[in-house]
Amino acid sequence: MEQIEVTARFNLDGKIIPLNFTWRGKTYWVESTGRRWTDEHGLHVLTMVPGGIVYDLIFNQTEGIWHLRQIGPDRAAA
């Protein structure tokens, strides 16, 4: 997992909606989000970016830090 910068908004219910993220100097715009779950690492949000690549954005709510894990282009999760 790598630490990343994320721009997100909160909807009226308090749900975090990632809008884009910057990884290795490049900004990726989120086309859609899919499943969400929480584990010992934090809140996971599956996101799809242009080109059909799926990333797992992980928000550590205690530290206020985002991490990224790439899933791959072939998984239709978002």
The per-residue pLDDT for range 1-60, each reduced to its tens digit, is 899 999 999 999 999 999 999 999 999 999 999 999 999 999 999 999 999 999 999 999
Farthest CA pair distance, the chain: 32
| 58 assigned to some structural domain | yes
| 39 assigned to some structural domain | yes
Tell me the pLDDT band of 73, cut-offs 50, 70 and 90.
Answer: low
| 21 assigned to some structural domain | yes
Indicate the number of domains in the chain: 1
| 64 assigned to some structural domain | yes
Task: Please report which helix (H) or strand (E) contains residue 59, including its range.
Answer: strand 53-60
Q: Which domain does 43 fall in, by range?
A: 2-72
| 77 assigned to some structural domain | no
What pLDDT shows up at residue 70?
A: 79
pTM: 0.85
Of the candidates 59, 61, 46, the one whose C-alpha atom is nearest the C-alpha of residue 4 is 59
